[in-house]
Amino acid sequence: MKLAPSVFTAIFLSIGIHSNAQFNKDSLVINNITENALLHSPAYESLKVLCKDIGHRLSGSAAKVKANQWAIQALYRAGADTVWLQPVLVPKWERGKESMVVRTATGKKISLKMISLGNSEGTNGKLLTAPIIVFQSLDDLKEAKPEDIKGKVVFLNSGLPQKHITTFDGYGESFMNRYLGPNIASEKGAVAYVMRSLSTGIDDYAHTGVMSYKDGVSKIPAIALGNSSSNLLNNLCKEGSVTAKIRSNCRMKGEVMDYNIIGELSGETNNYITVGGHLDSWDVGEGAHDDGAGCVQSIEVLRLFKHLNIKPKNTLRVVLFANEENGA
């Protein structure tokens, strides 16, 4: 694992380099830190345990409890002087079974690989049947007449734009498809919302993520399709009327207690340098990059100081946050 530049930045700030007179000594310390991080870091193995042995760990879930216990032990193994838990209320959302079948103009039935968006309400296990109406952009949906949408399933066939050199710029441009799209559709009378996944791969792995209902809108089911299924559905709708049959059991179940896991290595002053990542992940993935890597790298900062017997000038605090994914 290549440690992020921010990891080394935190290390150098904590060391507190004072003057040019210490240049040779400081250079040696920095070299030792870099060499140990690159050649002897346990971060890969830690990430493997977190992602493979524990796996997905949505906040408020049983798996997240296991992740919390892992994090406490990992911080102590790294050499933390103290580790504590900071209580925080998080939303408890459960996915349950879900399915989507479409019936084409010719009567053919096709099952699509779908995934409910995070925090979406489902159909309470009942079968929802309604015709599909397609929009190619969020602006088109905003401008649509409610009478054209009422009682239908809105399908937004607008994906992640790939024109940007920095890929995340495309995600930022299309994020509102997921966050606001269900509300716009609901306000216009739609009974469900289906969107093209915010991903770039031409495959059928749909990308979930958080959505939120505005106050006063009907909490209609909100669903993502992978790019392959989105292409198929868009083409089917061009050929004629298509009806969706959706069944899902996802639902919000109030709030439960979870914890930020905090570890600390005391410095010479009461000033703090904080590094961290979020420990939770969505329930359909391992969360290796989002944000298991950030967690193990943050722990690695503390380990390097302790292992190399470096007393930091500033107290080093590692925070593994309870919940980033579904809105807290």
Tell me which residues are annotated as active site: 324
Q: Are 2 and 297 in contact (CB under 8 A)?
A: no
- Structure token digits, residue 112: 């699509």
Q: Are 251 and 97 in contact (CB under 8 A)?
A: no
Q: Are 156 and 149 in contact (CB under 8 A)?
A: no
Identify the bridge partners of residue 261 per DSSP, sorted by sequence position.
85, 320
Number of residues written out for the chain:
328
Distance of alpha carbon 115 from alpha carbon 211, whole angstroms: 13
Going through 44-165 in order, the beta strands assigned E by DSSP cover 82-94, 98-103, 109-112, 114-116, 128-135, 153-156
Q: Are 9 and 275 in contact (CB under 8 A)?
A: no
